[in-house]
Amino acid sequence: MPVIEHKLFIIAPIEVCFDLARDVNVHTQTTYKTKERAVGGVTKGLLEEGESVTWEAVHFGIKQRLTSKVIFMEKPHSFVDVMVKGAFKSFIHIHQFIEEEKGTTMIDHFQYTSRFGPLGVLIDKLFLEEYMKRFIAIRAIELKKIAEIRTNQTFD
């Protein structure tokens, strides 16, 4: 079961980072390479605890759908979403935000299980785990850009 952890410092207040990370419209912006869009559940605005969203995206040249549900939220420090339906056997994505003196550290903790037993483990090792690391990192970098532009302030 691969576990991916990605940390990124953002020069923006914790509340800005937290809200951007759960904003459906921003998610679409930060995953433009996979043409991700919300097609069910909450399709715009901020996700709240108990809400679900169905994403449609193109991964590995294949259009896929995945439904996730926010199962926990502690504003503005963390929220957790889990896959309800989709390509993985399961996943849990913990989003954490730590307030720092000059901004926010955003931590993505993503743990997933592939389908297909031993074949899924082999697929993870060959390419899927690295693909997911890049996907999470690119999304975080794009979110950082948006947060820092929107904040348009410096911390002294």
Question: Which DSSP symbol is given to 33?
Answer: G
User: In this structure, which long-range contacts are made by residues 131-139, counting pairs with CB atoms below 8 Å and at least 24 apart in sequence?
Assistant: 131/59, 132/2, 132/4, 133/4, 133/6, 135/31, 135/34, 136/4, 136/6, 136/108, 136/110, 137/6, 138/30, 138/33, 139/27, 139/30, 139/31
Q: Are 112 and 91 in contact (CB under 8 A)?
A: yes
Q: How far apart are CA 96 and CA 81, in angstroms?
A: 12
CATH of domain 3-151: 3.30.530.20
pLDDT beyond 50 at 145: yes
pLDDT at position 156 is 44
Q: Is pLDDT of 24 > 90?
A: yes
What is residue 105's predicted lDDT score, i.e. its pLDDT?
A: 98
User: Side chain identity at 12, as an amino acid letter?
Assistant: A
Is pLDDT above 70 for 147?
Answer: yes
Q: What's the pLDDT tens digit per position in 37-67?
A: 999 999 999 999 999 999 999 999 999 999 9
pTM, two decimal places: 0.93
Q: What's the average model confidence in pLDDT over 77-83?
A: 98
